[in-house]
Amino acid sequence: MTNGAPAGPRVLIVDDDPSIRRGLRNLLEDEGIHIVAEALDGVDALSTAYSTTPDLVFMDLRMPTMGGIEATRQLTATFPTIQVIICTAYDDASLHQSAKEAGAFSVLVKGCSPRLLLEMVVHAWDHKRTMDQIYHPTPNGYPPPPQG
């Protein structure tokens, strides 16, 4: 940690398939990324996010009870700086549009390269920290001065 800033994102993995959750957890933990929890569906994701306050969520699209688009919509409405990456087996333009409208940071197709997935984590984490500065300014109520 430097200057009190976290070293990396706190991640919640949401997927109804335990092998997908396990594989994603292993990949991320091998890179030193902290997994705060796993959830089985959108409803579980919402309650888990309230108790763990993750920075980044990997969200499956199709799950029982509540799917990824609705869960993303509710998460981003409650936690405006949370970054959600939708993971799906479907590469469809209308899906990308629905995910964007729900507040997702990005959509990744399951089976994409680990490098792409890790690059997306870095971009989402950078965006989260920028959003935190906007939504949570310095104690005096003003945004921090530009770095430079």
Q: What are the boundaries of each domain within the chain?
A: 10-135
Taking 80 as the threshold, does the pLDDT of residue 117 lie above it? yes
118-134 burial, b at 16+ Cβ within 10 Å, e below that, comes to eebbeebbeebeeeeee
State residue 138's pLDDT score.
Answer: 54
Position 92 confidence tier, pLDDT thresholds 50, 70, 90: confident
Distances (CA, A) of 124 to 16, 64, 99, 142: 23, 26, 15, 24
Q: Assess whether pLDDT exceeds 70 at residue 39.
A: yes
User: How many angstroms separate the CA atoms of 1 and 52, rounded?
Assistant: 20
| Topology adopted by domain 10-135 | Rossmann fold (3.40.50)
pLDDT band at residue 137 under the 50/70/90 scheme: low
Q: Kindly report the backbone phi and psi dihedral angles of residue 39, in degrees, each rounded to the nearest multiple of 5, phi listed first.
A: -135, 155
pLDDT at 113 over 60: yes
Q: Which of 51, 101, 47, 93 is nearest to 72 (CA)?
A: 101
* pTM for this predicted structure: 0.86
